[in-house]
Structure 1
Amino acid sequence: MGLPQINIEFLGRATSAIARSARGIVALVLKDDTPNAKSQEIKSIDDLKPADWTVRNLAYIKQVLKGTPSKVIIEVVPTETVDYLEVLNRLSFKKFNYLTIPDITTPQTSDVVTWIKEKRKAKKTFKAVLSNVKADSEGIINFTTAGIKVGEETYTSAEYAPRIAGILAGLDFTRSSTYFVLDEVESIVEHADPDGAIDAGELILINDGEKIKIGRGVNSLVTTTTTKTEDFKSIRIIEVVDMISDDVRSVFEDEYVGKVNNIYDNQVLFITSLNAYFKELSTDEVLDKEADNIAEINVDAQRLAWEKIGTDTSTWEDQVVKETSFKRNVFLKGNVKIVDSMEDLDFNIFM
Structure 2
Amino acid sequence: MGLPEINITFTGKAQTLVQRSQLGIVSLILKDDTGTFESIEYKDPTAVETADWTPENADYIANAFKGDPSKVIVERLDTTAVDYTAALTRLKNKRFNYLAVPAIETADVTVIAEWIKTNRADNRKTFKAVLPNAGEDHEAIINFTTNDIKVGEKVYDTAEFTARIAGILAGLPFTRSATYFVLDEVESITEIEDPNAAVDAGELILINDGEKIKIGRGVNSLVTITPNGTKNDEFKSIRVIEAMDMIHDDIYSTFDDEYVGKVNNIYDNQVIFINSVNRYFTRLQTDEILDPNATNQARIDVAAQRAAWEEAGFDTTDWDEQRVKETSFRKNVFLAGNIKIVDTMEDLDFSIAI
Residue 17 of structure 1 is matched in structure 2 by 17
Contact 1:134 1:201 in 2 (8 A): no
Contact 2:146 2:190 in 1 (8 A): yes
Query: Which is worse superposed, 44-53 or 32-41?
Result: 32-41
* 2:99 match: secondary structure: strand
CA distance in structure 2 between the partners assigned to 1:302 and 1:59 by the alignment: 53
Residue type of the alignment partner of 1:60: Y
TM (norm. structure 1) is: 0.98
Matched, 1:311 2:314: yes
Contact 2:41 2:73 in 1 (8 A): yes
What do residues 137-192 of structure 1 show as CA deviations (whole Å, max 9, x unaligned)? 11110000001010011111101000000000000100000000000000110001
Contact 1:36 1:53 in 2 (8 A): no
The alignment's C-alpha RMSD in Å is: 1.3
CA distance in structure 1 between the partners assigned to 2:299 and 2:254 by the alignment: 17
Residue 275 of structure 1 is matched in structure 2 by 278
- What's the CA shift for 1:260? 0.2
Residue type of the alignment partner of 1:334: G
Residue 116 of structure 2 is matched in structure 1 by 116
What do residues 214-263 of structure 1 show as CA deviations (whole Å, max 9, x unaligned)? 00000011111120111101000000110011010000000000000000
* 2:139 match: secondary structure: coil
TM (norm. structure 2) is: 0.97
Residue 172 of structure 1 is matched in structure 2 by 173
Contact 2:206 2:214 in 1 (8 A): yes
CA distance in structure 2 between the partners assigned to 1:60 and 1:318 by the alignment: 56
- What's the CA shift for 1:37? 6.2
Residue 8 of structure 1 is matched in structure 2 by 8
Matched, 1:266 2:269: yes
* 1:291 match: secondary structure: coil
* 1:157 match: secondary structure: coil
CA distance in structure 2 between the partners assigned to 1:48 and 1:299 by the alignment: 53
Contact 2:35 2:53 in 1 (8 A): no
Residue 133 of structure 1 is matched in structure 2 by 134
Matched, 1:338 2:341: yes
Contact 1:37 1:53 in 2 (8 A): no
User: What is the aligned-residue identity percentage?
Assistant: 62
Query: Which is worse superposed, 75-84 or 270-279?
Result: 75-84
- What's the CA shift for 1:38? 5.0
- Aligned mate of 1:232, from 220, 232, 235: 235
CA distance in structure 1 between the partners assigned to 2:343 and 2:5 by the alignment: 31
CA distance in structure 1 between the partners assigned to 2:298 and 2:218 by the alignment: 29
Matched, 1:349 2:342: no
CA distance in structure 1 between the partners assigned to 2:233 and 2:126 by the alignment: 19
CA distance in structure 2 between the partners assigned to 1:5 and 1:17 by the alignment: 18
Residue type of the alignment partner of 2:136: A
CA distance in structure 1 between the partners assigned to 2:81 and 2:162 by the alignment: 19
- What's the CA shift for 1:119? 0.4
Matched, 1:153 2:150: no
Residue type of the alignment partner of 1:313: T
Residue type of the alignment partner of 1:28: L
List, as ranges, runs of 4+ consecutive aligned residues in structure 1 with deviation greater than 3 Å.
35-38
- What's the CA shift for 1:309? 1.1
Residue 217 of structure 1 is matched in structure 2 by 218
CA distance in structure 1 between the partners assigned to 2:57 and 2:251 by the alignment: 37
CA distance in structure 1 between the partners assigned to 2:256 and 2:93 by the alignment: 17
* 2:189 match: secondary structure: strand
- What's the CA shift for 1:35? 3.7
| Runs (5+) with no aligned partner, structure 1 | none
CA distance in structure 2 between the partners assigned to 1:109 and 1:18 by the alignment: 31
Residue 64 of structure 1 is matched in structure 2 by 64
Matched, 1:287 2:290: yes
- What's the CA shift for 1:134? 1.2
- What's the CA shift for 1:344? 0.3
What do residues 106-149 of structure 1 show as CA deviations (whole Å, max 9, x unaligned)? 11111111111100102100000000011111111000000101
* 1:158 match: secondary structure: coil
Residue 192 of structure 2 is matched in structure 1 by 191
Residue 296 of structure 1 is matched in structure 2 by 299
Residue 84 of structure 2 is matched in structure 1 by 84
Residue type of the alignment partner of 2:297: I
Distance verdict in 2 for CA 1:3–1:323, change over 3 Å: closer
CA distance in structure 2 between the partners assigned to 1:103 and 1:80 by the alignment: 14
Distance verdict in 2 for CA 1:318–1:41, change over 3 Å: same
| Runs (5+) with no aligned partner, structure 2 | none
- What's the CA shift for 1:290? 1.0
CA distance in structure 2 between the partners assigned to 1:73 and 1:256 by the alignment: 31
CA distance in structure 2 between the partners assigned to 1:2 and 1:52 by the alignment: 47
Contact 1:201 1:220 in 2 (8 A): yes
Contact 2:34 2:51 in 1 (8 A): no
CA distance in structure 2 between the partners assigned to 1:141 and 1:252 by the alignment: 30
CA distance in structure 2 between the partners assigned to 1:83 and 1:73 by the alignment: 19
CA distance in structure 2 between the partners assigned to 1:338 and 1:35 by the alignment: 44
